[in-house]
Structure 1
């Protein structure tokens, strides 16, 4: 939806006036579609890697941490859907004599990757019958731990919007959602990427017989991205890629971007809880975005739509949301942005995915995360990206405990690298890149580390 269309839809009434008489439990009005079959998830077969499959298998087998939003169930649904898809492809391969050997080798390779290392260091293959039984038990359990935390005994989709929480920031964000997204986000506004390879696959190239066999090569939500990459190949993009350091909150920085520009911002997200500490009034970058926009609804639509009632941001991927709307608290100005929903490792804490064992592994895996969300921004720019502002920041350097210099160096490495078929540094796919942070000292570290790159 264009900016003018959204502005008209909101009307001219004062949000502050509405908020004074607004009760989140009595007046919040929203609808949602029937939750889809979680096993109908899109499987990017051509983009699967050993790295990714090991990540999912390990997370599914990890019972050490409370599963707040059925994240393991979501990942298990992916595995079961993958197993079904591989069986289907094997049957089809038997009728394709001309490339049957090539197909069989590819499918066998993926099967060989479906091995994980347990806590004792033993490599194990999944027992699909046991996994199906486990999934059925998980599906029968309708209570997730977030609801239990609030004293609930049963749950239903979107209960997060009906929990009685008396706090002005949450009430205000619920009003924003009520004004702009009572029917939620559309399916083509919600994208889920499992790794950078899935995004690289979107770029135009001559498809092999094997890739044609493994169709579809992209999710229906990426029709717009595929068309944009065909019209404006990344190798043709050679923008300034100017890097600027902005010391203010992300909710304010979005209003400093020229009004006619596309904004893509990075949300420092929680990997297994939509909005992180949103419901407990936490105040990290992700929650600040949600308190000042209608973006919380998009995360719930991801949970109850794309993720089938659970919530798990892929370890080496992300979610991408189009057209969230920020509201300026003082002027009531509104601004549309796109949002990269990605996460970093939480140092020293047990999360959905296992933390890297050492610094070398941390760099390799964190770089894979960065590769994915930068590739997602490239794939989803409007036009050639000549009027796109990419708003990044020191992700993972707050409560998650990652070192600011380490994160800055990874950003420099990834932005200076070639990807998506680019001829030069991928930062040149954008007109402007802003590093936004409320801590001036972090921006100073970033600026120092970026000072020696060619502009």
Structure 2
């Protein structure tokens, strides 16, 4: 069995476990999820906090980084950024893809939550914006993360938000500089969502670097600029694992270690 076929089989098996074992938790996360769009923060005044987030780097996947921070700070709210597909809940989870969003779905009940937001994704499909997409997100509390057999490991809040896709926007004559400006604005959008929901620990990463066409060094520096501003968020961890043809681990380690 090839890797794609294996992932498809694992996804189907995992989805069945989530549906059988965590229906109540899934329904509660759906009920408590919030949809964010650009207009939500148009009138929000700029707040100057007295605290600055502690920034760190870990060479590990998103869920592992969240679990490690939760073990250190068990009483603090921990949230993670889902590097979302703008058009499809869970991206290629059921089709054997293995990017960050799909890995999160393999580890949790996130897919079962996101598939209930059909109107959110339908609106997105009608507003592609030259593949820069829009500042749109779903904040889902208490997503269940499990072992392969379905036993509970932890619960984390998840911010589902898509980065702009420069590799596609480029074909619509969108400049790299313009795409970077959109990405940095969306980073600020994510930061504001975390602050609005009183997140203490936040797991981010090389969002947009790689398949979406942004250079890792610039992504890391943009994140650093965003978090140079004060924030009530206490700890921000950049969790990065290496992929073929990128050196994002070295880049983010140099930027945040």
**Common fold by TM > 0.5:** yes
Q: Give the Cα separation in 2 of the matches to 1:166 and 1:270.
A: 18
Task: Give the whole-Å Cα distance in 1 for the aligned partners of 2:29 and 2:59.
Answer: 33
2:29 and 2:113 in contact (8 A); partners too: no
TM-score by length of structure 1 reads 0.47
Distance 2:163 2:96 in 1: 21
Structure (1 or 2) with the greater strand fraction: 2
Runs of 4 or more above 6 Å deviation: none
Structure 1 counterpart of 2:23, from 158, 178, 181: 181
Partner SS, residue 217 of structure 2: helix
Match in the other structure for 2:183:
366
Q: Which residue in 2 is equivalent to 1:199?
A: 41
Residues 83 and 160, structure 2, Cα contact 8 Å, conserved in 1: yes
* Rg larger in structure: 1
Question: 1:11-410 to 2 correspondence within 5 Å?
Answer: 167-181=9-23, 184-185=27-28, 188-195=31-38, 198-199=40-41, 201=43, 235=48, 237-257=49-69, 258=71, 259-303=74-118, 306-307=119-120, 310=122, 312=124, 315-329=134-148, 332-349=151-168, 357-381=174-198, 385=199, 388-410=200-222
**1:342 offset after TM fit, Å?**
1.2
The one of the two structures with greater contact order (alpha-carbon pairs below 8 A, sep at least 6) is 2
- Match in the other structure for 1:75: none
Q: CA deviation at 1:359?
A: 2.4
Instruction: Determine helix, strand or coil for the equivalent of 1:439.
Output: coil
Residue of structure 2 equivalent to 1:72: none
Structure 2 partner of 1:154: none
Q: Distance in 2 between matches of 1:409 and 1:355?
A: 26
Cα shift readout 1:100-151 (whole Å, capped 9, x = no counterpart): xxxxxxxxxxxxxxxxxxxxxxxxxxxxxxxxxxxxxxxxxxxxxxxxxxxx
The separation in 2 between residues aligned to 1:362 and 1:376, in whole angstroms, is 21
* Contact 2:57–2:256 (8 Å) recurs in 1: no
Q: What is the rounded CA distance, in whole Å, between the counterparts of 2:94 and 2:172 in structure 1? A: 26
State the TM-score, normalizing by the size of structure 2.
Answer: 0.80
Structure 1: gaps (5+ residues): 1-164, 206-233, 417-424
Cα 1:335–1:202 change in 2 (3 A) is farther
1:346–1:355 contact (8 Å) kept in structure 2? no
Equivalent residue of 1:301, what SS? coil
What CA distance in whole angstroms lies between the structure 1 residues aligned with 2:206 and 2:84? Answer: 12
What are structure 2's unaligned runs of at least 5 residues? Answer: 1-6, 126-132
On the 8 A contact 2:82/2:161 being kept in 1, the answer is yes
2:166 aligned counterpart, secondary structure: coil
Q: 1:184 to 1:311 in 2, by over 3 A?
A: farther
Q: SS state of the match for residue 168, structure 1?
A: helix
Deviation, structure 1 residue 408: 0.9
Displacement of 1:247: 0.8
SS in 2 for 1:312: helix
- Contact preservation (8 Å) 2:8, 2:96: no
Q: How far apart, in 2, do the equivalents of 1:370 and 1:173 lie?
A: 30
- Alpha-carbon displacement from aligned partner over 1:64-107 (angstroms, at most 9, x marks no partner): xxxxxxxxxxxxxxxxxxxxxxxxxxxxxxxxxxxxxxxxxxxx
